[in-house]
């Protein structure tokens, strides 16, 4: 069974109530839910939340939703709890609740990674095309090994191109932006929630470094389509312009 879980919190420091924000006549969470269900890739799609207001809206548009603990430190923990309602699930995909333009092709890439029995976790990345993204600590970078496995994630620009001037790094096309959608084998997802934080994770504030530190292989598939997430009201305005 393939399960897609969409974690949705009401309390966002940068955009309170974001899942319920109006995006072209319906809520953001409905846009994401519809985008995922319309792919036809999943046996079940469910929203995982800790807020009754989100539960009410999802039920009103006919979606599936489960209430989860308000004390989860991360979306991964929320997705793990939600997936326990579906014990038949074998692959669980965590689709961010603020990405209404998620594409079928990218989700297919994630699922295809599990044709390799060695893959425990899969995610996506795309080539960075703007220097501002390369230098921004808000854009997470990843470097891969020859088989597509993640070697390291960082908020810093990696790899360092020693013999290339910084102003030409973008032209080399060697820097990858991590796109924060994940897929897991269901048993691995439950194991991840039991791991203690790692020092590198704390330094970079990147949860996936905990998984690498524990020895889990994270497969990174490449896509030509960067994620379009909504983190702020300004992002919502940009999304409205895209819809129109």
DSSP designation for 32 = H
Strands 2-8 and 44-49: parallel
Domains and CATH numbers, the chain: 1-102 (3.90.550.10), 120-179+187-226 (3.90.550.10)
Give the model's pLDDT for residue 1: 96
Q: Return the structure tokens found at 7.
A: 């974690």
**Calpha distance 44→1 (Å, rounded):** 8
First to last CA, the chain: 36
Give the model's pLDDT for residue 13: 67
Beta-carbon contacts of 104 under 8 Å, excluding residues fewer than 6 positions away, are 38, 39, 40, 41
Cα angle 173, 120, 193; round to 5: 110
Give the model's pLDDT for residue 233: 79
Q: If we measure between CA atoms, which residue out of 18, 8, 11 comes closest to residue 236?
A: 18
**Calpha distance 232→14 (Å, rounded):** 6
Q: If we measure between CA atoms, which residue out of 174, 179, 75, 57 comes closest to residue 124?
A: 179
pTM attached to this predicted model: 0.93
Give the model's pLDDT for residue 69: 94
Show the low-confidence residues of the chain (pLDDT under 70): 13
**DSSP assignments along 71-125, one per residue:** T-SSHHHHHHHHHTT-TT-SEEEE--TT-TT--HHHHHHHHHGGGSTT-SEEEEE
């Amino acid at each position: 069974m393939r399960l897609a879980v969409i974690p949705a919190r009401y309390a966002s420091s940068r955009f309170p109530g974001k899942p319920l924000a109006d995006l072209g006549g319906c809520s953001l969470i409905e846009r994401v839910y519809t985008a995922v269900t319309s792919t036809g890739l999943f046996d079940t799609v469910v929203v995982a939340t800790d807020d009754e207001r989100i539960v009410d809206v999802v039920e009103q548009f006919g979606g599936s939703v489960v209430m989860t603990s308000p004390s989860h430190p991360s979306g991964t923990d929320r997705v793990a709890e939600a997936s326990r309602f579906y014990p038949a699930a074998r692959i669980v995909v965590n689709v961010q609740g603020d990405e209404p333009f998620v594409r079928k092709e990218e989700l297919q890439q994630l699922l295809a990674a599990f044709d390799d029995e060695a893959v425990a976790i899969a995610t996506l990345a795309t080539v960075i095309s703007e220097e501002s993204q390369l230098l921004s600590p808000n854009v997470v970078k990843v470097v891969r090994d020859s088989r597509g496995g993640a070697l390291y994630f960082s908020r810093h620009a990696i790899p360092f191109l020693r013999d290339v001037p910084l102003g030409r790094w973008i032209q080399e096309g060697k820097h990858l932006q991590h796109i924060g959608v994940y897929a897991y084998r269901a048993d691995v997802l439950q194991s991840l929630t039991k791991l203690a934080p790692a020092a590198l994770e704390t330094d970079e504030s990147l949860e996936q470094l905990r998984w690498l530190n524990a020895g889990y292989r994270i497969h990174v598939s490449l896509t030509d389509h960067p994620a379009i997430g909504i983190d702020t009201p300004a992002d919502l305005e940009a999304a409205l312009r895209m819809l129109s």
